């Protein structure tokens, strides 16, 4: 600890406002420990869920099921990685599911007209990236609130997607499903892709100036600007990243399903946000990480839905369960973020 200070023997590090200058007191330390516990809550929940379902229904905590859940979680992970970047700046990207849909629609047309898998895949990522750039322009140039800007692109995306697909389901050629079923070293290709994205994302966040500046931007945008951070470019970049991740996530989802339905990609935005917040990202910006954070979060929600299937739960319960999870997640974030006022 540092040099002498009256505070060393001070019994009060007052709450709420005022004397933050003092050494963390016992109370603060206890509070910090409570927060750490709160942060690892999703991991405990995860373990409890898996063991509980396995005990109740059997055959849940198995290797096959784990691989199944992992490849099911892969698209969510990829989309949520991009979402984590956006949320670090204090923003949000509601358009990811719609961008997946548009990309899938275009890629589906291409694939059905005989284009190779690689071309269709590239188109999906490019469509996502383009949509992300649109969001970037809306947010950084027109100054729209991210929530409203991306809500607009969500509706635009859904509309364009339905137009492209003519609201009909499209069954894709074999090579899509072949990619979805492919595996390397016993691990599905889609899981490899998701892992790669997660590792790259975490590397970008913790090891590059770009990543560290994101944390600064999310913590205090004005101070970041004064410190010489190009906040506008940074903000634009996260929406581009999120868009590209949405495109790639769409590709993974598509190659697992093999068809584009009119509801393709729906609610992915909420899954991604939930995954990120479960993983410790804050809706207020400045906090969060991809590994383990967001990835664990994505695993957790996918496991929950998989468990519901295993337990043969009433399908009408699903939205209720989703609501409970989202509520819990936001509550955790609020408890974690709330200033320590009495």
Partner 1 sequence: MTAQSPAVAAPRVRVEAVHKGFAGVPVLRGVSLTLAPASVLGLVGENGAGKSTMMNILGGHLRPDAGSIHVDGAVYRPRGASDARKAGMAFVHQELTLFANLTIAENLHLVRFPRRLGVWIDRTASRRLASEQLSRVGLRRGPDTPVEQLTSGERQLVEIARALTHDARVLILDEPTTSLGALERQRLHDLIRELRHDGLSIVYISHELGDVLRECDRIAVLRDGTVVAEGDAGGFSVRGLVRHMVGREVGQFYPAPRQAAVREPLLRVRGLCRGTRVGPTTLTVGVGEIVGVFGLMGAGRSELARLIFGLDKPSAGVVLLDGRALVGAPPGRIASGLAFVTEDRRLDGLCLEAPIAENLALASLRRLPRSLVGVLTGATIKRAARRIGSAVGLAEHVDLAAPVGRLSGGNQQKVVLGKWLLTRPRMLLLDEPTRGIDVGARAEIYQLLHRLADAGTGLLVLSSDLDELMGISDRILVMRHGELNGEFPSTAFDREQMLRAALPASVA
Helix (H) or strand (E) holding 204: helix 189-207
- Give every CB contact of residue 33 below 8 A, 6+ residues apart in sequence: none
DSSP string across 320-338: HHHHHHHHHHHHHHHHHHS
Cβ 94 vs Cβ 150: under 8 Å:
yes
Angle (CA) 170-171-173 rounded to 5° is 130
Q: Which of residues 267-306 bind partner 1 (CB under 8 A)?
A: 286-287
Helix orientation angle between 268-278 and 317-337, rounded to the nearest 10 degrees: 40
Comparison of 17 and 168: residue with beta carbon closer to partner 1 = 17
Q: Does 19 bind partner 1 (CB under 8 A)?
A: yes
Q: Which stretch binds partner 1 (CB under 8 A): 101-109, 120-128, 222-230, 233-241?
A: 222-230
- Taking alpha carbons only, the member of 277, 274, 261, 333 closest to residue 302 is 274
Q: Does 33 bind partner 1 (CB under 8 A)?
A: no
DSSP string across 14-54: -SSSS-TTSPP-HHHHHHHHHHHHHHTHHHHHHHHHHHHHH
Paired with 188 in beta bridges are: 183
Number of residues in contact with partner 1, rule: CB under 8 A?
Answer: 42
Comparison of 91 and 180: residue with beta carbon closer to partner 1 = 91
**Interacting residue with partner 1 among 164, 216, 283, 290 (CB under 8 A):** 216
Q: Does 44 bind partner 1 (CB under 8 A)?
A: no
Comparison of 186 and 209: residue with beta carbon closer to partner 1 = 209
Q: Does 30 bind partner 1 (CB under 8 A)?
A: no
Q: Does 226 bind partner 1 (CB under 8 A)?
A: yes
Q: Does 213 bind partner 1 (CB under 8 A)?
A: yes
| CB 128 to partner 1: min, Å | 24
Q: Which residues bind partner 1 (CB under 8 A)?
A: 2-7, 9-24, 203, 207-209, 212-213, 215-216, 218-220, 223-224, 226-229, 286-287, 342
């Amino acid at each position: 600890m540092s040099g002498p200070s009256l505070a060393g023997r001070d019994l009060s590090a007052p709450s709420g406002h005022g004397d933050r200058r003092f050494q963390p007191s016992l109370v603060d330390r206890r509070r910090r420990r409570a927060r750490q516990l709160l942060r690892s809550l999703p991991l405990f929940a995860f373990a409890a869920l898996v063991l509980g379902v396995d005990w109740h229904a059997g055959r849940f905590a198995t290797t096959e099921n784990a691989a199944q859940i992992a490849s099911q979680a892969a698209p969510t992970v990829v989309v949520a990685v991009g979402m984590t970047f956006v949320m670090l700046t204090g923003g949000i990207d509601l358009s990811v599911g719609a961008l997946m849909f548009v990309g899938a629609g275009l890629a589906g047309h291409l694939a059905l007209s005989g284009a190779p898998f690689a071309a269709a895949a590239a188109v999906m990522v490019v469509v996502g990236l383009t949509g992300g750039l649109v969001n970037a322009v809306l947010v950084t140039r027109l100054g729209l609130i991210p929530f409203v800007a991306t809500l607009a692109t969500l509706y635009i995306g859904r509309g364009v997607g339905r137009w492209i697909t003519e609201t009909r389901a499209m069954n894709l050629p074999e090579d899509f499903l072949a990619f979805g079923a492919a595996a390397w070293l016993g691990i599905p290709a889609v899981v490899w892709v998701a892992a790669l994205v997660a590792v790259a994302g975490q590397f970008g966040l913790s090891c590059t100036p770009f990543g560290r500046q994101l944390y600064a931007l999310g913590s205090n945008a004005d101070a970041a600007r004064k410190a010489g951070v190009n906040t506008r470019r940074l903000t634009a970049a996260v929406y581009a990243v999120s868009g590209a991740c949405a495109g790639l996530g769409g590709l993974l989802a598509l190659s697992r399903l093999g068809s584009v339905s009119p509801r393709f990609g729906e609610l992915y935005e909420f899954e991604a946000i939930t995954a990120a917040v479960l993983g410790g990202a804050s809706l207020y910006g400045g906090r969060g990480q991809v590994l383990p954070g967001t990835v664990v979060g994505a695993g957790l929600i996918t496991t929950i839905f998989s468990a519901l299937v295993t337990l043969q739960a009433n399908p009408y319960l699903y939205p209720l369960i989703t609501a409970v999870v989202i509520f819990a997640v936001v509550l955790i974030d609020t408890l974690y973020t709330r200033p320590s006022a009495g």
